[in-house]
A = this chain, B = another copy of it.
Amino acid sequence: MRKLRIGMAQINVTVGDFAGNTKRILKAITEARSLGVDLITFPELAMCGYPPEDLLFKPQFIEENLKCLDKVIEHTSGLAVVVGFVDAKEDIYNAAAIINDGKLCSVYHKIYLPNYGVFDENRYFQAGRECPMYVISGVGVGVNICEDIWYEAGPATAQAYAGAEVIINISASPYHAGKGDFREKMLGTRASDNVAIVAYTNLVGGQDELVFDGSSMVLNEKGELVARGKQFEEDLIVVDLDVEAVFRTRLHDPRWRKETLLLQDQRWHTAKIVLSELPFSASKPALLPRQVEVRSLPGEVYDALVLGTHDYVLKNGFEKVVIGLSGGIDSSLVTTIAVDALGSANVIGVSMPSRYSSSGSISDAELLAQNLGIKLITVSIEKVYQACLEILTDQFRDAKPDVTEENIQARIRGNILMALSNKFGWLVFTTGNKSEIATGYTTLYGDMAGGFAVIKDVPKTLVYQLAKYRNSVAGRELIPPSVINKAPSAELRPEQKDTDSLPSYDLLDPVLTAYVEEDRSVEQIIDMGFKKEVVERAARLVDTSEYKRRQAPPGIKITPRAFGRDRRLPITNRFHEC
């Protein structure tokens, strides 16, 4: 019986942390060896982290990555390793090293370079043109990288036709809600189309705006899920791949036995490369397939936010964070996520009441802080607000109060949070949600002041779902019901409500999704059944607040299109549909 014991190491690396990343890789190799693994796989660009962006223009960055690859090669006695790194020939390549028993046997260069959404790989890499098939312990193995497997009749197919029974894909595929399902279906189709086992190793961890969710998986030649790794956690998934089943199925599959093989792209060619033979792992004790339960949608998003928050804070060398607590749902959710990510000792809440703060808001902030066990500082902004109005009296003599006075308050709060940050080294979290960022219902340098915008990509309606989800997990009202049930308000003028300025979020959010994430026209959205005035107002607000978003802190992408690198619009733009 030909069996290949694979270990898929979904590790959490940090961009540019060569020493740390190498250590993680070596640790996984050691563990895999002790488990009798024949072949261990690591994510795309595991050596340097993903995405390295313009660090790739620094020759010393590439060199360091090559040096660390050499170090990894030295520690591979007795097994095969596939690991992502940056290869440098006459140009640079997004590459996979195929290492066997202390020797670098081959290097695969990614063929399909994504250059859409958050990806800019054409900016950096030359595309590969070869997709070899490797023979490891008598098993045919194809290796390719991330985007490569998203194309039908792509490198995986070429490799299968050349004899690969196992397709290894190493990825750094960023999370968004619902992507996991789509990915699993696609990988299942690739496996069954090519009558091959697909072993997909994905990165895990947060990197600026992105969260990689792990969820590595193995699918058999029927396209069935055989094993799945943890989501949002490091994992080493060890599976015995039943290569005999592939052979048997191919013998009986008329589709497979067709004589003419049509490949979509003939630019790249295949070659057979035999890695030195290692003993089969057939004699080792059998492993039971292991699958991790799939979470609910709010659960998945919540965990993505926790991991993204944890990694942004710690990878950037911070320990503690500070959050302005208004008593509202957004800051309450952000604080809860922060506590789950960093522990209650590392989260400081600041209540900054003004003349317009309701007593309910102040007590809600206190109750939340108590529920979460965090320190709460109270700093009234009244004195400073009063002083601001005084020094501007001359200038504002003939003007009526308007949004100016509201923004002054928000900016005083921003100044206080930043002062605490500067003095004590705490990172400031902003608390704006996607609905607010989309419509510009935020104050630049005010509530937008901070280093990380945890729920920047979470629409307000999902904010509520996440709060309820977290309470249900806690089995108690961690986020007070009064916070969840009150009408949203910025409390920057008497009796203010969000609905004074915006349509209700139930109406607004689906319109924003259609306009921002799906590029639907105003006309199309109205045709979908939404009110003309709501759609036009929303589109106008989105268009005219681009300048604010350009100065927003980064936040975690959880939808198919986040603000940030994912959506690049000019500020200077006279194209408006209404």
Residues of chain A at the chain B interface (Cβ within 8 Å): 14-18, 20, 51-55, 57-61, 64, 115-116, 120, 122-123, 206-208, 311-312, 315-316, 377, 379-381, 383-384, 386-388, 390-392, 395-396, 399, 402-404, 407-408, 411-412, 414-416, 418-420, 422-424, 444-445, 449, 451, 519, 521, 523, 547, 550-554, 567-577
Contact = CB atoms under 8 A, between A and B. Distances in A.
A122 B122 CA distance: 7
B419 A407 contact: yes
22 contacts: A15-B573, A17-B575, A52-B570, A55-B570, A58-B575, A59-B521, A60-B521, A61-B575, A120-B568, A208-B571, A315-B572, A316-B547, A316-B572, A387-B387, A391-B416, A395-B420, A399-B424, A403-B422, A404-B423, A407-B418, A445-B449, A451-B547
A457 B312 CA distance: 28
A60 B526 CA distance: 15
Nearest to A401: B423
Contacts of A386: 387
B415 A388 contact: yes
Contacts of A550: 553-554
Given A17-B575, A388-B416, A418-B444, 14 more contacts: A16-B575, A51-B570, A54-B568, A54-B569, A59-B521, A123-B568, A208-B570, A208-B571, A388-B415, A388-B419, A404-B419, A411-B411, A418-B445, A551-B551
Contacts of A573: 15-16, 55
A111 to B, nearest CB: 15
Given A569-B55, A570-B51, A570-B52, A407 B388 contact: no
Interface centre among A388, A392, A570 (most CB of B within 10 A): A570
The 3 closest A-B pairs by CB, nearest first: A16-B575, A17-B574, A404-B422
Nearest to A405: B419
Contacts of A416: 388, 391-392
A573 B424 CA distance: 22
Contacts of A412: 415
Contact of A411 (B18, B312, B418, B575): B418
B55 A575 contact: yes
B379 A383 contact: no
Nearest to A427: B547
Contacts of A115: 115, 120, 122-123
A383 to B, nearest CB: 4
Contacts of A569: 53-55
Contacts of A399: 423-424
Given A574-B15, A574-B315, A575-B18, A519 B58 contact: yes
Interface centre among A383, A547, A569, A573 (most CB of B within 10 A): A573
B568 A15 contact: no
A14 B61 CA distance: 39
A95 to B, nearest CB: 18
Contacts of A519: 57-59
A14 B574 contact: yes
Nearest to A19: B574
A58 B115 CA distance: 18
Nearest to A552: B551
A418 B16 CA distance: 38
A207 B576 CA distance: 17
B391 A380 contact: yes
Contact of A419 (B57, B408, B423, B572): B408
Interface centre among A387, A416, A521, A575 (most CB of B within 10 A): A575
Contacts of A572: 14-15, 206-208, 311-312, 315-316
Nearest to A407: B422
A568 to B, nearest CB: 5
Contacts of A122: 115, 122
B387 A383 contact: yes
A34 B187 CA distance: 64
A206 B567 CA distance: 21
A415 B54 contact: no
A96 to B, nearest CB: 21
Nearest to A63: B521
Contacts of A20: 574
A386 B391 CA distance: 12
A403 B419 CA distance: 9
Contacts of A576: 16
A575 B15 CA distance: 7
Nearest to A420: B395
Contacts of A17: 574-575
A414 B446 CA distance: 11
Nearest to A414: B445
B415 A415 contact: yes
Contacts of A396: 423
A569 B565 CA distance: 12
B316 A571 contact: yes
Nearest to A566: B54
A119 B75 CA distance: 42
Contacts of A316: 547, 571-572
Contact of A408 (B116, B208, B415, B552): B415
A548 to B, nearest CB: 10
Given A384-B388, A407-B419, A451-B547, A570 B521 contact: no
